[in-house]
Structure 1
Amino acid sequence: MKLVVVSAGLSSPSSTRLLADRLTAATLAHLDAEPQVIEVRELATEIAQHLVTGFPPARLAAALDTVAAADGLIAVTPVFAASYSGLFKSFFDLIDKDALTGTPVLLGATGGAARHSLVTEHAMRPLFTHLRAPVVPTAVYAASQDWGEQGLARRITRAGTELARSMRPATPHTTPHAAPHTIPDTDTAAAIAPRSPTGAITSADPAHGLRTVPFEQRLAALRAE
């Protein structure tokens, strides 16, 4: 299986790449997969060329093909102006609209303050929903003060576990045993029997085939029971 990690950090080293690495480790703790990391900042020039010319340079084309072939994706961005970075969005703007259909995605973001923690929900999740990629329930936002805290470590572990579970092949379902055949009681059979245009019930008689029982006669018989 192939796990692709897209990190849109702008510096080296960066907290965005650090979060991406920790999310990768948490996923691989529960899954045997081959990880491949794409540093978007290294493709910035190629992304701009593709946006202007419509043709991806070879290195960018290879990165786009790698994302399209992923069995699972980790996408991490720094926060700028309360949303994902322009470079992150520009990269995914170049992904074919059907390339990520059905590919499970884990979202991560980094920022300087906790007030941006909903960026994964109001910006990133709709983006991947548009690409028809199922996003795991737990997204991870890491503010500057979160590093070293147990809360961040627990969210990373939970998110990685969810992605690993989503990437595993589904266990084939066993064919359920057929339900035993049951014979409906008389009242049930009468209730579902076809009716004639006059409202009488048409039922099967083992000796004479079909016979018609007037509704009034059947009602009287039921009252007498």
Structure 2
Amino acid sequence: MTTTPDSPFEVVAVSAGVSSPSTTRMLADRIGVATREQLAALLPGAEVRVRVVELRELASDIAIASTGALKSERLNEAIATVARADALIAVTPVFKASYTGLFKSFFDVLDDDVLLSMPVVLAATAGTPRHALVPDSDMRPLFAYLRAMAVPTSVFAATEDWADPAGLGRRIKRAATELAALTAARVRQEVLGRQGSTYQRTFDSHGSQDSLADIDFDTDLMRLATGGVADKSPRVSDGR
């Protein structure tokens, strides 16, 4: 991802809500609005774009891609939207005491490097406060594996929380403030710009933009991988 100091900030919310209307989408929208407000306060005049990826509309595409089939054009567009983001808001309803299969399957079909160093707010909705720890107990390990930068404050909204807009609003503002601070500093671009190649986990990595000219194909491993044979000539030590 190439950005300049004057580039617009791209904030993307991924909503795994399956109903319409959906409290999951409502929560994603509220966090998105709060993040835009906090970025505007930090950087007056900055352009902030907030986009929402509705996984409900991609359910069949995600299921097909999960079987190893090719990704559809609209799924690739959604993935590209996430990959270009400066910040992510990930929101899921809680089913069976965890994030939904739809939510997990979307992140399963992403390349491992797509979310490298990306600031992210973790949020969940449920019908009961018994699931309040899901963002931290279930979602945080997933995004740690993906090496995203989850902000310290997660957001959980049970049905009863919508009747207390002030309390929910305080949590949303706190999480949005943390996300905006990381985004305004362009932390992701800074980290990838300085350490991108060391983050590479897959051959077609989003963490590194190395060209083929930068890859050493003249090694035993690469020769074997391309159907050749390992170099059996004797090695000469330089004494070190």
Question: Which TM-score tier does this pair reach, normalised by the shorter chain?
Answer: 0.7 to 0.9
Listed one character per residue, the Cα deviations across residues 140-167 of structure 1 (whole Å, up to 9, x for unaligned) are: 0000001131221100111111111110
How many residues were matched structurally?
172
**Residue 50 of structure 2 corresponds to residue 35 of structure 1:** yes
Structure 2 unaligned residues grouped into runs of 5+: 1-8, 40-46, 191-240
Aligned Cα root-mean-square deviation (Å): 1.4
Q: 1:163 — aligned with what? A: 179
Structure 1 unaligned residues grouped into runs of 5+: 173-225
CA drift at 1:170? 5.8
Instruction: Write the distance in 2 (CA, Å) between the matches of 1:8 and 1:106.
Output: 14
Q: Secondary structure at the match of 1:29?
A: helix
Using the size of structure 2 for normalisation, the TM-score is: 0.69
CA drift at 1:49? 1.3
Q: 2:73 — aligned with what? A: 58
Q: 2:149 — aligned with what? A: 134
Letter in 2 for 1:12: S
Match 2:160 to one of 131, 145, 162: 145
Q: 2:24 — aligned with what? A: 16
Instruction: Write the distance in 2 (CA, Å) between the matches of 1:170 and 1:88.
Output: 26
Q: 1:86 — aligned with what? A: 101
Q: Secondary structure at the match of 2:148?
A: coil
Listed one character per residue, the Cα deviations across residues 67-109 of structure 1 (whole Å, up to 9, x for unaligned) are: 1111000000000011000000000101110110010000110
Instruction: Write the distance in 2 (CA, Å) between the matches of 1:136 and 1:24.
Output: 14
The higher radius of gyration belongs to 1
Q: 1:74 — aligned with what? A: 89
**Residue 119 of structure 2 corresponds to residue 111 of structure 1:** no
Letter in 2 for 1:20: A
Which runs of at least 4 in structure 1 moved beyond 4 Å after TM superposition? none
**Residue 116 of structure 2 corresponds to residue 101 of structure 1:** yes
Q: 2:201 — aligned with what? A: none
Instruction: Write the distance in 1 (CA, Å) between the matches of 2:186 and 2:152.
Output: 18
Instruction: Write the distance in 2 (CA, Å) between the matches of 1:117 and 1:169.
Output: 30
Q: 2:211 — aligned with what? A: none
Using the size of structure 1 for normalisation, the TM-score is: 0.74
CA drift at 1:53? 3.8
**Residues 1:170 and 1:48: Cα distance change in structure 2 (over 3 Å):** closer
**Residue 53 of structure 2 corresponds to residue 45 of structure 1:** no
Identity %: 54
- 25-34 or 163-172: bigger deviation: 163-172
Letter in 1 for 2:178: E
